[in-house]
Protein backbone atom coordinates (compact mmCIF):
# COMPACT_ATOMS: atom_id res chain seq x y z
CA UNK A 1 0.00 0.00 0.00
CA UNK A 2 1.36 3.45 -0.91
CA UNK A 3 2.41 5.68 1.91
CA UNK A 4 0.15 8.70 2.43
CA UNK A 5 1.51 12.18 2.02
CA UNK A 6 0.64 14.75 4.65
CA UNK A 7 -1.83 17.16 3.06
CA UNK A 8 -2.63 20.08 5.30
CA UNK A 9 -2.94 22.88 2.74
CA UNK A 10 -6.61 23.89 3.06
CA UNK A 11 -6.92 25.38 -0.47
CA UNK A 12 -5.63 22.09 -1.98
CA UNK A 13 -7.98 20.06 0.21
CA UNK A 14 -10.91 22.30 -0.73
CA UNK A 15 -10.13 21.93 -4.44
CA UNK A 16 -9.82 18.13 -4.24
CA UNK A 17 -13.01 17.95 -2.20
CA UNK A 18 -14.94 20.11 -4.68
CA UNK A 19 -13.75 17.97 -7.61
CA UNK A 20 -14.58 14.78 -5.70
CA UNK A 21 -18.11 16.00 -4.91
CA UNK A 22 -18.63 17.06 -8.53
CA UNK A 23 -18.42 13.34 -9.42
CA UNK A 24 -21.76 12.84 -7.64
CA UNK A 25 -23.57 15.40 -9.81
CA UNK A 26 -21.76 15.20 -13.17
CA UNK A 27 -20.88 11.47 -13.03
CA UNK A 28 -17.38 12.07 -14.32
CA UNK A 29 -14.03 12.82 -12.72
CA UNK A 30 -11.37 15.30 -13.75
CA UNK A 31 -8.74 13.21 -15.52
CA UNK A 32 -6.08 13.51 -12.82
CA UNK A 33 -8.32 13.61 -9.72
CA UNK A 34 -7.79 9.92 -8.90
CA UNK A 35 -4.58 7.91 -9.05
CA UNK A 36 -4.67 5.04 -11.59
CA UNK A 37 -4.76 2.50 -8.74
CA UNK A 38 -7.30 4.25 -6.49
CA UNK A 39 -9.06 1.86 -4.11
CA UNK A 40 -12.76 2.57 -3.45
CA UNK A 41 -14.57 0.99 -0.47
CA UNK A 42 -18.28 1.83 -0.14
CA UNK A 43 -20.43 0.94 2.86
CA UNK A 44 -24.10 1.73 2.30
CA UNK A 45 -26.57 0.34 4.84
CA UNK A 46 -26.57 -3.46 4.90
CA UNK A 47 -24.08 -3.82 2.04
CA UNK A 48 -20.48 -3.27 0.98
CA UNK A 49 -18.71 -3.11 -2.38
CA UNK A 50 -15.23 -2.24 -3.61
CA UNK A 51 -13.44 -1.48 -6.84
CA UNK A 52 -10.09 -0.19 -8.01
CA UNK A 53 -8.98 2.11 -10.80
CA UNK A 54 -8.73 5.74 -11.88
CA UNK A 55 -12.37 6.63 -11.23
CA UNK A 56 -14.44 5.35 -14.16
CA UNK A 57 -16.01 2.52 -12.12
CA UNK A 58 -16.70 4.99 -9.30
CA UNK A 59 -18.53 7.49 -11.51
CA UNK A 60 -20.34 4.69 -13.39
CA UNK A 61 -21.62 3.37 -10.05
CA UNK A 62 -22.82 6.84 -9.05
CA UNK A 63 -24.60 7.25 -12.38
CA UNK A 64 -26.23 3.81 -12.09
CA UNK A 65 -27.83 4.59 -8.72
CA UNK A 66 -29.02 8.10 -9.62
CA UNK A 67 -32.77 8.11 -10.15
CA UNK A 68 -32.89 11.71 -11.28
CA UNK A 69 -30.86 14.93 -11.17
CA UNK A 70 -28.56 15.14 -8.14
CA UNK A 71 -27.60 18.07 -5.91
CA UNK A 72 -24.81 17.83 -3.34
CA UNK A 73 -24.32 20.12 -0.36
CA UNK A 74 -20.82 19.88 1.11
CA UNK A 75 -21.30 20.04 4.87
CA UNK A 76 -17.61 20.20 5.76
CA UNK A 77 -14.16 19.13 4.65
CA UNK A 78 -11.23 18.76 7.04
CA UNK A 79 -7.61 17.81 6.42
CA UNK A 80 -6.20 14.65 7.96
CA UNK A 81 -2.64 13.38 8.19
CA UNK A 82 -3.27 11.26 5.06
CA UNK A 83 -5.60 13.55 3.07
CA UNK A 84 -9.06 14.73 4.08
CA UNK A 85 -12.44 13.72 5.43
CA UNK A 86 -15.51 15.27 3.90
CA UNK A 87 -19.23 15.08 4.55
CA UNK A 88 -22.06 15.79 2.16
CA UNK A 89 -25.82 15.65 1.85
CA UNK A 90 -26.98 14.36 -1.52
CA UNK A 91 -30.48 14.98 -2.86
CA UNK A 92 -31.71 12.96 -5.82
CA UNK A 93 -34.75 14.53 -7.46
CA UNK A 94 -36.71 11.45 -8.54
CA UNK A 95 -40.13 11.28 -10.23
CA UNK A 96 -41.53 9.99 -6.90
CA UNK A 97 -39.99 12.83 -4.87
CA UNK A 98 -36.65 13.72 -3.33
CA UNK A 99 -34.39 11.05 -1.85
CA UNK A 100 -31.77 12.36 0.57
CA UNK A 101 -28.58 10.62 1.73
CA UNK A 102 -25.86 11.79 4.10
CA UNK A 103 -22.31 10.48 3.55
CA UNK A 104 -18.85 10.64 5.09
CA UNK A 105 -15.85 10.09 2.79
CA UNK A 106 -12.33 9.37 4.04
CA UNK A 107 -9.94 10.25 1.21
CA UNK A 108 -6.21 9.54 1.18
CA UNK A 109 -4.03 11.70 -1.07
CA UNK A 110 -0.58 11.29 -2.59
CA UNK A 111 1.10 13.51 -5.17
CA UNK A 112 -2.00 15.69 -5.39
CA UNK A 113 -4.31 12.80 -6.31
CA UNK A 114 -6.87 10.82 -4.33
CA UNK A 115 -5.69 7.21 -4.10
CA UNK A 116 -8.07 5.74 -1.53
CA UNK A 117 -11.73 6.44 -0.71
CA UNK A 118 -13.81 4.91 2.06
CA UNK A 119 -17.46 6.01 2.11
CA UNK A 120 -20.09 5.51 4.80
CA UNK A 121 -23.69 6.26 3.80
CA UNK A 122 -26.89 6.39 5.85
CA UNK A 123 -28.96 5.33 2.82
CA UNK A 124 -31.58 7.19 0.83
CA UNK A 125 -34.42 8.75 2.82
CA UNK A 126 -37.62 9.42 0.86
CA UNK A 127 -40.27 12.02 1.77
CA UNK A 128 -42.19 9.60 4.00
CA UNK A 129 -39.13 8.63 6.05
CA UNK A 130 -38.01 12.27 6.44
CA UNK A 131 -41.49 13.26 7.71
CA UNK A 132 -41.55 10.32 10.14
CA UNK A 133 -38.04 11.14 11.35
CA UNK A 134 -38.92 14.81 11.91
CA UNK A 135 -41.91 13.76 14.03
CA UNK A 136 -40.14 11.08 16.08
CA UNK A 137 -36.51 12.14 16.52
CA UNK A 138 -35.02 15.08 18.32
CA UNK A 139 -32.33 16.80 16.24
CA UNK A 140 -30.22 19.47 17.94
CA UNK A 141 -28.01 20.37 14.95
CA UNK A 142 -28.60 20.00 11.20
Would residue 35 count as lying in a domain? Answer: yes
pLDDT of residue 95: 94
HEC sequence for 11-25: HHHHHHHHHHHHHHH
Domain of residue 123 covers 10-136
Q: 33: domain CATH number?
A: 3.10.450.50
* Model pLDDT for residues 73-117, shown as the tens digit of each residue: 999 999 999 999 999 999 999 999 999 999 999 999 999 999 999
Number of domains comprising the chain: 1
Would residue 142 count as lying in a domain? Answer: no
Would residue 74 count as lying in a domain? Answer: yes
Would residue 132 count as lying in a domain? Answer: yes
pLDDT of residue 1: 54
Please give the Cα distance from 4 to 95 (Å, whole number): 42
Would residue 121 count as lying in a domain? Answer: yes
Please give the Cα distance from 123 to 54 (Å, whole number): 25
Q: How many helices (H) and strands (E) does the chain have?
A: 3, 6
* Model pLDDT for residues 63-83, shown as the tens digit of each residue: 999 999 999 999 999 999 999
Would residue 4 count as lying in a domain? Answer: no
Amino acid sequence: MPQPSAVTDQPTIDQLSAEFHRCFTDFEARRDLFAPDTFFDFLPPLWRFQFEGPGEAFTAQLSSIAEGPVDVEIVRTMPTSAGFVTEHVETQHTPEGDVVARRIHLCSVRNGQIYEVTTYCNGGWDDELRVRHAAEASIIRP
